[in-house]
């Protein structure tokens, strides 16, 4: 990597928004050339879960609003991915077969923070290889 690479996407928080946003992150990772396929799959799984939570739960019963994704490759060989919504955080009772999204995110990312002061902000940190040669091996 020769500097910071960034991706920022804002779109309406509809259920059909998560997939193209996840595909944009995949293209970003390919263009940066900094992760192998297995690492990319893990990152995309975690990001997909965070996006799904935002578009499914953030604006429950409210007019459509936005979800934002910001990804940044850092000089310290990490990828930070932030997912923001301006909805109200809803603490739900456990439901059978549901509620695994954030557990999946936390299992994959090296660090996860969640801030619910003004909407919900999920930050995920992932380790990425030092250079393109590490990806090829």
In which domain, by residue range, is 45 found?
5-136
User: Which of 104, 101, 105 lies closest to 92 in space, CA to CA?
Assistant: 101
Distance CA 104, CA 38 (A): 15
Per-block average pLDDT, block size 10, for the chain (137 residues)? 79 87 95 91 95 77 82 90 82 61 89 90 88 52
Please tell me the predicted confidence (pLDDT) of residue 93. 62
Tally of domains in the chain: 1
| CATH classification of the domain holding 38 | 3.30.565.10
Please tell me the predicted confidence (pLDDT) of residue 76. 79
pTM above 0.75, yes or no: yes
């Amino acid at each position: 990597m020769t500097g910071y690479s960034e991706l920022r996407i804002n779109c309406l928080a509809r259920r059909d928004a998560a997939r193209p946003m996840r595909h944009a992150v995949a293209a970003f990772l390919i263009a940066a050339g900094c992760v192998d396929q297995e690492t990319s799959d893990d990152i995309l799984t975690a990001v997909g879960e965070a996006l799904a939570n935002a578009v499914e739960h953030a604006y429950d019963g409210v007019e459509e609003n936005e979800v934002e994704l910001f990804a940044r490759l850092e000089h310290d060989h990490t990828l930070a991915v932030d997912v923001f919504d301006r909805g109200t955080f809803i603490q739900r009772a456990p439901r059978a077969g549901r509620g695994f999204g954030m557990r999946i995110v936390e299992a994959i990312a090296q660090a996860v923070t969640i801030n619910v002061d003004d909407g919900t902000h999920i930050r995920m940190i992932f380790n990425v290889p030092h250079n393109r040669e590490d990806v090829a091996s």
